[in-house]
Structure 1
Amino acid sequence: MPALAQTPTLSDVRLAIVRYLIDNVDHPSVSISEVSHAVRRAFPLCELTDWELGDLIARSAIGAGFAIDFDATEP
C-alpha cells in the first residue's frame, strides 16, 4: 500500500533548498523560480505561499553567498 503524502515541515523545505544550493554550488547565482519549482516538485503539499517560499529561498541563498536572480514566471 503506498504511503500517504504528508505536508512538509519548514525544516524539510529548508533542507530541500540547501540541497539544491549544494547541488548548484558551481553557479554564481541562483534563480528563485527554479528553486521554487524544484521545492514544489519535491513537496507538492507545501503550504507556503509563493512569496513565503521565495523569501525563504532568497534568505538561504544569500546566507550561503549566492547572488539572486529575482525572476518571475508568467502566470
Structure 2
Amino acid sequence: MAALAEMPTISDVRQAIVRYLIDDADKPCVSISEMIGAMRGIFALCELTDWQLSDLIARIAIDAGFAIEFDAGRP
C-alpha cells in the first residue's frame, strides 16, 4: 500500500524557501510568482493561499537582503 502524502508544516515551507534563496543567492532579485510555483511543486498539499505564500516568501527574502519582484498577480 502506498504511503499517504503528509501535509507540510509552516516550518517545512519556511525551510524550503530559505533553501531556494540559498540556491539562487547569485540573483539580486526574487520573483514571487516563480517561487510560488516552485513551492507548489515541492508541496502539492500546501494549504497556504497564494497570498499567504507570497507574503511568507517576501518576508523571508527581504530579511535575507533580496530585492523582491512582486509579480504574483500577473497573468
Q: State TM-score, norm by structure 2.
A: 0.94
Matched, 1:8 2:36: no
CA distance in 1, matches of 2:62, 2:5: 31
Letter in 1 for 2:12: D
Q: For residue 64 of structure 1, what is the aligned residue in structure 2?
A: 64
- Tell me the SS of whatever aligns to 2:16: helix
- Deviations along 1:24-54, one digit per CA (max 9) or x if unpaired, are 0000000001111100000000000111000
CA RMSD of aligned residues (A): 0.9
Structure 2 matches for 1:29-40, cutoff 5 A? 29-40=29-40
Matched, 1:45 2:40: no
Deviation at 1:4, TM superposition (A): 1.2
Q: For residue 73 of structure 1, what is the aligned residue in structure 2?
A: 74
Q: For residue 21 of structure 1, what is the aligned residue in structure 2?
A: 21
Structure 1 runs (4+) deviating above 6 angstroms are none
CA distance in 1, matches of 2:19, 2:3: 23
Structure 2, unaligned runs of 5 or more: none
Structure 1, unaligned runs of 5 or more: none
Letter in 2 for 1:26: D
